[in-house]
Amino acid sequence: MELIVYRDCPEGPVPLGRLVRENGVTSFLYDVNYLSRGDAAAVSLSLPLRPEPFTEEELLPYFKGLLPEGEALENLCRSMGVLTTDYFTMLGSCGLDCLGDVIINPDAYQGKRAYEALTLQDLMSMAGKPGKIDASVELARLSLAGTQSKCGLFHDPAAPLDEGWYQPVGGAPSNYIVKFAREDVRDLMTVEHLSSACARACGVLAAKTSLINPSQPIICVERYDRLLSAGEFVDGMDAPLRRHQEDIAQAFAIMPAAKYRQLKPSTAAALAAFLRQNSARPAQDIANLVRLVLFNYLIGNCDNHLKNTSILYAPNWQSFQLAPAYDLVSTTYFARFSSTMGMAIGNHMEITEVEPADFRLLAEQMGVNVRLMRAAVKVFQERAIAALGAEGDALGSRGFATAPFIADDLQEEVYPRLEVLSKI
């Protein structure tokens, strides 16, 4: 058995390599013709161009990293009748619109690509119903990493956000990731949107989010890897261009289950060194990384693991930069969630134990002047509290009745950490 891995080039999908399964063991091999192209580039930094095949151990961090995790994976596999350990079959079934610029399984791709209209009621019917979300994912042949219930949909840019939604079919690209909260964490989508809006107001490079459906908020995350036009029309609508990306776990050959691993000498130091040596704009990316690390502390996002930081490639795959931040959530808002951070700050992993001295050590570890951190903190002090209040009020005026109160609670979360940051 084999699956062809395509790169979505301007002239159409080009075979990049093959996943081959023999006697229960899978390998990955770059296509000979692809290797001879002048624009050939590796699908992942962990899978550099070479004629020799990669072992299953070598290929797993990237390819398994394309799939959902945890409960989201269990639900999808259950609906499809596939074992959660059978990543090969899952990639063949859901690899037509992966994160990034790869397409898997050419046979399915030969079908007609289309956008089928959805009403807001259709979206509302997915909330709290994993089976309906899984049906959408399967119909789109979509592979989305992460643990939350989510699906990829297309939104007509000319329509208001509570209209103009479409279900991608047959590998048509989505341009939004739509996420739904579980019943036991109903405030999660509002908290994520407020956290993301605050981040952008504070100068953090972050994906744009919006909320729809006040009775049970649904968060719509604009896909930064689908912002450009492909110059192709599907059902009369301008289809987005796929941009290649990979998360840090994939790039560093780390399995999804090890996403909370601390890199040496520290995760922040390793990421700064990586960007300094490899980014197309290292100074800009390191500054963006510093702001992100500080903001995760400020907002109380302890789920800042390796799969929640990515790199975004240029359309020709020849260079990359730090991607906009995503999954920015104040996890400390929820008492049930861990307060142990996914990335240490100085000498501490526990967010309540972080001290001003930890940030001075962090600056040293990342090889940046502490003045860069102080400048970011100054912006946080000027904008964070006001941004949370303003966005909460704006949501309240649109019918999201609890949003102003959630914003108030987030402000209370932020105050003491702003005090710590002010002492750097």
pLDDT tens for residues 199-242?
A: 999 999 999 999 999 988 999 999 999 988 878 888 999 989 88
**Residue 28 exposed, middle or buried by CB count within 10 Å (0-12, 13-18, 19+):** buried
Number of independent structural domains in the chain:
1
Given this model, what pLDDT does residue 95 score? 76
- Whether 384 maps to a domain, the answer reads yes
Q: Which of 348, 384, 370 is nearest to 423 (CA)?
A: 370
State the pLDDT at residue 129.
55
| Residue 283 lies inside a defined structural domain of this protein | yes
In a domain, 302, yes or no: yes
Q: What is the mean pLDDT of residues 147-175?
A: 87
Q: Is the pLDDT of residue 370 over 70?
A: yes
Task: With respect to residue 356, please indicate whether it lies within any of the assigned structural domains.
Answer: yes
* Residue-level pLDDT at 228: 80
CATH number of the domain where residue 325 is located: 1.10.1070
Phi, psi of 350 (to 5 degrees): -80, 120
The position carrying tokens 């999804």 is 256
Instruction: List pLDDT tens digits, range 106-158.
Output: 565 556 789 999 998 888 887 655 555 545 554 444 455 544 578 889 999 99
264 lies in some domain:
yes
Q: What is the per-residue pLDDT across 37-93, written as a single tens digit (0 to 9) for each?
A: 999 999 999 999 999 999 999 999 999 999 877 776 677 777 777 777 778 888 887
Nearest in space to 8 (alpha carbons), one of 91, 100, 90, 80: 100
Q: What is the pLDDT of residue 336?
A: 85
Q: What is the structure's pLDDT at 32?
A: 97
Residue 413: φ, ψ to 5°: -65, -40
**Range of 260's domain?**
245-421
d(CA 166, CA 159): 11
Average pLDDT, stretch 95-111? 74
pLDDT digits (tens, 9 = 90+) for 4-31: 999 988 777 899 999 999 998 999 999 9
What pLDDT score was predicted for residue 140?
45
Tokens 């960007």 — which residue? 275
Q: Where do we find the tokens 């861990």?
A: 338
Residue 300 lies in a domain: yes
Q: What is the 3-state secondary structure (H, E, C) of the chain?
A: CEEEEEEEECCEEEEEEEEEEECCEEEEEECHHHHCCCCCCCCECCECCCCCCECHHHHHHHHHCCCECHHHHHHHHHHHCCCCCCHHHHHHHHCCECCCCEEECHHHHCCCCEEEEECHHHHHHHCCCHHHHHHHHHHHCECCCECCEEEEEEECCCCCCCCCEEEEECCCCCCEEEEECCHHHCCHHHHHHHHHHHHHHCCCCECCEEEECCCCCEEEEECHHHCCEEEEEECCEEEECCCCEEEHHHHCCCCHHHCCCCCCCCHHHHHHHHHHHHCCCHHHHHHHHHHHHHHHHHHCCCCCCHHHCEEEECCCCCCEEECCECCCCCHHHCCCCCCEEEEEECCEEEHHHCCHHHHHHHHHHHCCCHHHHHHHHHHHHHHHHHHHHHHHHHHHHCCCCCHHHHHHHHHHHHHHHHHHHCCC
With 80 as the cut, is the pLDDT of residue 96 above it?
A: no
Cα 106 to chain centroid, rounded? 25
Percent of the chain topping pLDDT 70: 93
pLDDT tens digit sequence for 263-308? 999 999 999 999 999 999 999 999 999 999 999 999 999 999 999 9
Q: Determine the pLDDT at residue 361.
A: 97
Q: pTM to 2 decimals? A: 0.92
Lowest mean pLDDT among 103-112, 158-167, 258-267, 390-399: 103-112
- Separation between Cα atoms, residue 193 and residue 206, nearest integer Å: 11
On whether residue 293 sits in a domain, the answer given is: yes
| Residue 272 C-alpha from the chain's centroid | 19
pLDDT at 107 (0 to 100)? 62
206 found inside a domain: no
Task: Report whether pLDDT(323) > 80.
Answer: yes
C-beta separation of 44 from 16 below 8 A:
no
